[in-house]
């Protein structure tokens, strides 16, 4: 295990301030390249690995489990359920909660997950029923804490109101949040503070736009996430308006002796309910850069200056 990194809490679970998003494993990355990324993460002091049953056609969990075998007690594994795997396997009914977790534990080669997250709200199942089933798996020691993902303020309040004796309580919410995607500021962050929940941002680099690898007027690098998108989506992401913001942010970061990437992650870590910034990576170099970025947490004045940009 490598360098010490600052840690924060998601409920009772202690996590590194930067986590590794495992959505590329088994999809864009084969097992060998996935392992290289996981090893680099461990060496850089990252202890928090965030996957899901749907990533890489369920292969992400298997690859992660094999790579972490023998080191289970040194790492924190978060996974998710509820997105559609097939007609049978989807949603958040009590019976499926238990089945999905057993399947994830088998793929991960472990007998518990540290954080078990509902990947998206399930309109077909009352949240109280889902929380009841999650309470049982926590009771059995199969999940240490439970969280949700892609929830609105209203959905977080419904979940809070549905907690009964024996039911679990969501300790975290994982939503998209970055310098270029500010939606959580419209209420979800404040709700997290009110409920004392941890907020876990995903896509902190806005599909790589904040890593500095895309330049105005240049085609996206081959193999990059944006290069694989339909041209309409590319135009929307790589608009002049976006580049104007990215370039202004990059100038500000450089003036402070940091990279754009370090700003993107450091800014998120300065936001009160943020526990760990989940960043995906396809190479060991990217992991090291993401981990290093945790070293810069902005002051209130700096955050205000950045928000003004």
Fill in the DSSP letter of residue 149. Answer: E
**Closest to 279 measured CA to CA, from 203, 177, 207:** 203
Phi, psi of 134 (to 5 degrees): -65, -35
Sorted by where each starts, the structural domains of the chain and their CATH numbers stand as 7-209+270-296 (3.20.20.100)
> Residues near 224 by Cβ (< 8 Å), separated by ≥ 6?
208, 213, 214
Is the CB of residue 3 less than 8 Å from the CB of residue 44? yes
Is the CB of residue 200 less than 8 Å from the CB of residue 188? no
Which pLDDT tens digit goes with each residue over 176-186? 999 999 999 99
- Of 55, 96, 202, 214, the active-site residue reads 55
Q: Is the pLDDT of residue 150 over 70?
A: yes
| Structural Rg of the chain based on CA atoms | 19
55 among known catalytic residues: yes
Residue 248's pLDDT is 94
Which pLDDT tens digit goes with each residue over 265-290? 999 999 999 999 999 999 999 999 99
Average pLDDT over residues 206-215: 84
**Lowest model confidence (mean pLDDT) among 36-45, 143-152, 230-239, 293-302:** 230-239
């Amino acid at each position: 295990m490598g360098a010490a990194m600052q840690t924060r809490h998601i409920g009772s679970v202690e996590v590194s301030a930067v986590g590794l998003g495992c959505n590329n494993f088994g999809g864009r990355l084969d097992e060998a390249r996935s392992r290289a990324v996981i090893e680099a993460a461990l060496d850089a002091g990252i202890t928090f690995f965030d996957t899901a049953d749907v990533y890489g056609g369920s292969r992400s969990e298997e690859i992660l489990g094999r790579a972490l075998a023998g080191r289970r007690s040194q790492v924190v594994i978060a996974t998710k359920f509820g997105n559609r795997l097939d007609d049978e396997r989807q949603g958040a009914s009590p019976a499926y909660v238990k089945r999905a977790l057993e399947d994830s534990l088998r793929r991960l080669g472990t007998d518990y997950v540290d954080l078990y997250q509902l990947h998206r709200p399930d309109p077909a199942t009352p949240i109280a029923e889902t929380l009841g089933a999650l309470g049982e798996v926590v009771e059995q020691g199969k999940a240490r804490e439970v969280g949700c993902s892609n929830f609105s303020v209203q959905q977080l309040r419904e979940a809070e109101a549905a907690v009964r004796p024996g039911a679990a309580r969501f300790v975290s919410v994982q939503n998209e949040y970055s310098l270029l995607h500010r939606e959580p500021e419209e209420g979800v962050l404040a709700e997290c503070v009110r409920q004392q929940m941890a907020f876990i941002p995903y896509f902190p680099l806005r599909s790589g736009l904040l890593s500095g690898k895309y330049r105005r007027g240049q085609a996206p690098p081959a193999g990059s996430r944006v290069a694989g998108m339909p041209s309409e989506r590319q135009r929307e992401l790589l608009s002049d308006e976006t580049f104007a913001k990215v370039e202004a942010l990059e100038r500000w970061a450089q003036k402070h002796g940091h990279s754009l990437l370090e700003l993107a992650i450091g800014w998120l870590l300065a936001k009160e309910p943020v526990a760990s910034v989940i960043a995906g990576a396809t190479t060991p170099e990217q992991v090291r850069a993401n981990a290093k970025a945790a070293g810069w947490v902005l002051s209130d004045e700096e955050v205000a200056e950045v928000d003004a940009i």
